[in-house]
Amino acid sequence: MRLDSIQFASEERMANDYEDQKYKALQSCILTLKEIDKSIVILSLEGLAYKEISEITGLSENHVAVKMKRIRKALLNCITPKIKAYVG
Each of the 88 residues of the chain gets a pLDDT tens digit; together they read 444 444 555 567 666 888 888 899 999 999 999 999 999 999 999 999 999 999 999 999 999 999 999 999 999 999 999 888 877 6
Q: Is residue 19 part of a domain?
A: no
CA distances in angstroms from 26 to 3, 29, 34, listed in the order given? 38, 5, 15
Verdict on whether the full-model pTM lies above 0.85: no
Q: How far is it, in rounded angstroms, from Cα 68 to Cα 70?
A: 5
Q: Is residue 47 part of a domain?
A: yes
Q: Is residue 28 part of a domain?
A: no
Q: How many domains does the chain have?
A: 1
Q: What are the φ and ψ backbone dihedral angles of 10, each rounded to 5 degrees?
A: -70, 160
Residues 40 and 74 sit within 8 Å (Cβ to Cβ):
no
Q: Which residue range forms the structural domain that includes residue 54? A: 34-88
Q: Is residue 26 part of a domain?
A: no
Q: Is residue 13 part of a domain?
A: no
